[in-house]
Amino acid sequence: MTDQPEVLVRVQKNVGRLTLNRPQALHALTQTMCETMIGALLDWRDDPEIYMVVIDHAGERGFCAGGDIRMLARSGAGDAVEARAFFHTEYQLNHLLFTYDTPVVAILDGVVMGGGVGISMPAHYRIATERTTFAMPETGIGLFPDVGGGWYLPRLPGKAGLWLALTGARIKGADCLRLGIATHFVEFGAVEGLKKAIIADPRRIEETLRKYRADAGKAPLVSFEQDLNRLFVGVGVEQIFEFLEADSSDWGKAQLATMKTKSPQTLKVAFRQLEAGAAMTDFADNMAMEYRIGSRVVRRHDFIEGVRAVIIDKDNAPNWDPAKLEDVSDAMLDEIFAPLPLDQEWSPLT
């Protein structure tokens, strides 16, 4: 155990610094971490001396691997009060960052998954490196691509967002740059110099980023982008499965094999989530939808079972229920997406 704070909060010259500091858990977010970041961001929001905010991580292992999944499963198996409180706070942090006027820089070095996506995608400047690994892998544990996934993923080029949501595919820095997940690419060895340069003169951020910009190389996505946009179409997950089953390409077969390991319930939840989020015009509406989903999914069999299989027992053999896509009914989805009682709905910070 350590008495170090889970988020290091400080001001350097005219820059607010938020450094995730839970390396033993790959900086997975806790409610306390979210509350700490909210408090700092609110303090800095109207401070004329704060020109910029930088979000990064301590240590070598990665930016942020998500949320505290074990806690969510433990809580979901009971009354889910702790899980709902975490989602409520985390989503308020996501929304605060989305509406934040002071420029935010997120250093997407190493693992960027789940909750890490939620605190980095709203940033004005998102810096990838050759060590970046980005993913929304929630369908593999019976959860769903939350923290704004319903907003960001359908707004990526083509069908890339739907592919990422359904397969949990991991992509590297060059692909992040191609899809607009990252705004800039900098070599890992230059990141500390970049941060020092930003702190030295935050108002010249554009010039600094030009100076530190590096060549990300060819994006692997280019080699299968046409297949992706050809196959991940249709009116539902079943139709995507049909297209993949009829496809002769090795890439298509690999995507089908991957998706067959995922929770059928979560695949359909994610598809509906992205479809609904794409039509929304207010990020807060998306977060309210995701809070409804999260409040319910965290208590359902597939999430508890997915965490058991992937994270606790690590046998990677979850028994999904329903086990088949066709058995995930529209009525089941309607129940997951339905409004909550008024006193239980999510709302942004006032």
pLDDT average, residue stretch 55-69: 91
pLDDT of 2 reads 54
pLDDT of 301 reads 96
In a domain, 125, yes or no: yes
In a domain, 1, yes or no: no
Per residue in 78-135, pLDDT tens?
999 999 999 999 999 999 999 999 999 999 999 999 999 999 999 999 999 999 999 9
In a domain, 2, yes or no: no
Q: Tell me, what amino acid is at 48?
A: P
Per residue in 164-212, pLDDT tens?
999 999 999 999 999 999 999 999 999 999 999 999 999 999 999 999 9
Q: Which domain holds residue 23?
A: 7-344
**CA-derived radius of gyration, the chain:** 20
Per residue in 252-307, pLDDT tens?
999 999 999 999 999 999 999 999 999 999 999 999 999 999 999 999 999 999 99
In a domain, 266, yes or no: yes
In a domain, 350, yes or no: no
Backbone angles phi, psi at 185, to 5 degrees: -125, 125
pLDDT of 183 reads 98
Which residues does 142 contact at the CB level (< 8 Å), separation at least 6? 263, 265, 266, 297, 300, 301, 302, 303, 304, 305, 306, 307, 318, 320
- By DSSP bridging, strand 133-135 and strand 125-128 are unpaired
Q: Tell me, what amino acid is at 230?
A: R
In a domain, 349, yes or no: no
Q: Indicate whether 227 pLDDT > 60.
A: yes
C-alpha 228: how far from its chain's center? 21
pLDDT of 176 reads 98
Number of domains in the chain: 1
Q: CA-CA distances (angstroms) from residue 303 to 187, 215, 224, 319?
A: 37, 40, 31, 11
Q: Indicate whether 1 pLDDT > 50.
A: no
- Structural tokens at position 27: 């900086």
Across the chain, mean pLDDT equals 96
pLDDT average, residue stretch 213-238: 96
In a domain, 219, yes or no: yes
Check which CATH number belongs to the domain holding 311 and give it.
Answer: 3.90.226.10
What is the value of pTM for the model shown? 0.96
CA distance 228 to 264: 20
pLDDT average, residue stretch 13-26: 95
Q: Please tell me the total number of residues recorded for the chain in this structure.
A: 350
Q: Indicate whether 339 pLDDT > 90.
A: yes
Q: Indicate whether 67 pLDDT > 50.
A: yes
In a domain, 288, yes or no: yes
Q: Which residues pair with 57 in a beta bridge?
A: 20
Provide the percentage of residues in the chain whose pLDDT is more than 70. 99
Q: Which residues are catalytic?
A: 67, 115, 138, 146
